[in-house]
Amino acid sequence: MQARQAAALGLMALTAACASTQAAEPVHRRAAAVAPPPRYNPVGLEGVIGRTAKFLEGGFGKPDLDIREGTARKLQYAGPACVLDLYLYPPRGGGDPIVTYVDARRPDGTDFDRASCVAALERAR
Give the DSSP per-residue string, 10-68.
HHHHHHHHH---SPPPPPP-PPPPPPPPPP---TT-TTTTT-BHHHHHHHH-S-SEEEE
As for how many domains the chain has, the answer is 1
Q: State residue 119's pLDDT score.
A: 93
Query: Tell me, what CATH number does 93's domain have?
Result: 3.30.1450
Q: Is residue 110 part of a domain?
A: yes
Q: What is the rounded average pLDDT of the residues 22-36?
A: 53
* 114, part of any domain: yes
Does some domain include residue 61? yes
Specify if 8 maps to a domain.
Answer: no
Residue 25 is assigned to a structural domain of this protein: no
The mean pLDDT value of the chain amounts to: 80
104 domain-assigned = yes
Q: Is residue 101 part of a domain?
A: yes
Average pLDDT over residues 22-26: 57
Residue 71 within a domain? yes
Structural domain harbouring 62? 51-125
Amino acid at 1: M
* Model pTM above 0.75: no
Confidence bin at 25 (pLDDT 50/70/90):
low
Query: What average pLDDT does the segment 90-106 reach?
Result: 93
